[in-house]
Structure 1
Amino acid sequence: MHAPEITDVDAQIDAIQHASAPSLPTDDFKAIFRGHPGGVTVISADAGYGPVALTASSVASVSAEPPLLVFSISALSSASDVLSRAATVIVHFLDVHDVDVAKLGATGGIDRFAQAQSWTRLGTGEPVFDNVRAWVRCAVVDRMQAGTSTIVVARALTSHIERDAQPGDPGDALVYHNRAWHRLGEHSRLEG
């Protein structure tokens, strides 16, 4: 006899949560993802109480039509309250020339917008860091609680590309891997 097929996502999650098998230990889970590099972004917003920003490697493309992306916000982030209420966000896609912006968004306990010459506001009010590789202004279309994080789905509205890598060209991509910043470039290309 086999188990009935579960097609409802909520039912699947409920079944997993009530399964008798224990979850993977937290340290093992963290070790897995330390070895999984991610592209580096900074997400900024202002829900009316001043601008906030955080560095994230969780941004992923979901759909090209309509243009949707997804990212997660840890409840431990000082920016989580504002990002959880903002109707729009700016997702900054960084390269190695933007590592200082990445470090700024990753540093806790500081005013990430103290240096007025490094950022501006769009006409719609969102804070944008100047001269980054690219940014996308997005409307938040959905939020979902997942453990200690909030998953955000956003629709791309407008964008700006300062430095574009041509198709097949590695450019100067910035990735986060094993607790360190890395550059992808010609030296890291594998022939395939």
Structure 2
Amino acid sequence: MTSFRPQDSPTAPEPVRPPAHVGESLSADEFKTLFRGHPGGVAIITADGPDGPVALTATSVSSISADPPLLVFSLSSLSSATAAIVAASTIVVHLLDAEDLELARLAATSGADRFADAALWTRLVTGEPVYHGARAWVRCAVVNRMSAGDSTVVVAHALQSSIQRDIEPGAHGDALVYHNRTWHRLGEHSRIV
């Protein structure tokens, strides 16, 4: 097994800026239009903040290493949950399928009390809030944070996981995908090869 040593992360990381010789850039609207056509798997990230549990929906979650098991995601500075998640030492990343659409909508709704319905969530023995109906979740230690434009990129080390609805290799699943500002279900009907 590869050893892994979390790096100390300052509370206000230095922003990543393009090199001085880069003289052109897409506008924010052009960039958003470009990526609106790029589908993303849907996840919910939860953490325990100073004022209680927080959650947000994300499409930026990706695995980056199996040994050690690392994942990465980005958080918009516009989300009310970002500060608490960035400050947390541990988080839970929920990997959703189409059965979890209402959870995804709840965590994506600005101003919603994402933990008002006690039937939807509980706390792990380690204290993190978890939506127990999600297809799968992974508890992680945050190992690195980096400011990037108007977002924060977070790298997390997977510590513990639970899969409620597994998918056999090669079998169709019911993946939940966000594309062009709408929710989609991937399944056998969407297979092209």
Aligned residue type for 2:133? N
Between the aligned partners of 2:44 and 2:108, the Cα distance in structure 1 is 9
The alignment status of 1:132 with 2:134, answered yes or no, reads: yes
Percent identical pairs in the alignment equals 62
Q: Work out the number of aligned pairs and report it.
A: 178
Consecutive unaligned residues of structure 1, counting only runs of 5 or more, are: 1-12
Q: Secondary structure at the match of 2:101?
A: helix
* Cα shift at 1:20: 4.8
Between the aligned partners of 1:116 and 1:187, the Cα distance in structure 2 is 35
Aligned residue type for 2:90? T
Say if 1:95 and 1:172, in contact at 8 Å, map to a contact too.
Answer: yes
* Cα shift at 1:49: 2.5
Between the aligned partners of 2:80 and 2:119, the Cα distance in structure 1 is 23
Residue matched to 2:35: 33
Residue matched to 1:165: 167
Residue matched to 1:106: 108
Identify which of 75, 78, 85 aligns with 2:77.
Answer: 75
**Structure with larger RCO (C-alpha < 8 A, sep 6+):** 2
Q: Secondary structure at the match of 1:117?
A: coil
Q: Secondary structure at the match of 1:103?
A: helix
Between the aligned partners of 2:134 and 2:90, the Cα distance in structure 1 is 19
* Cα shift at 1:54: 0.1
Between the aligned partners of 2:93 and 2:22, the Cα distance in structure 1 is 39
* Cα shift at 1:131: 1.4
Identify which of 143, 152, 156 aligns with 1:141.
Answer: 143
Moved over 6 A (4+): none
* Cα shift at 1:176: 0.3
Aligned residue type for 2:25? S
Residue matched to 2:192: 190
* Cα shift at 1:77: 0.3
Residue matched to 2:95: 93
Tell me: CA distance 1:166–1:20, structure 2 relative to 1, closer, same or farther (3 Å). Answer: closer
CA-to-partner distance for each residue in 1:38-95, whole Å, 9 max, x for gaps? 0000000003430000000000000000000000111110001101100000000000
Residue matched to 1:3: none
Residue matched to 2:123: 121
* TM-score (norm: length of structure 1): 0.90
Q: Secondary structure at the match of 1:175?
A: strand
Aligned residue type for 1:96? A
Aligned residue type for 1:74? S
* Cα shift at 1:103: 0.2
Between the aligned partners of 2:184 and 2:167, the Cα distance in structure 1 is 17
Aligned residue type for 2:178? Y
Aligned residue type for 2:77? A
Considering only CA atoms, is the larger Rg found in Structure 1 or Structure 2?
A: 1
* TM-score (norm: length of structure 2): 0.89
Residue matched to 1:8: none
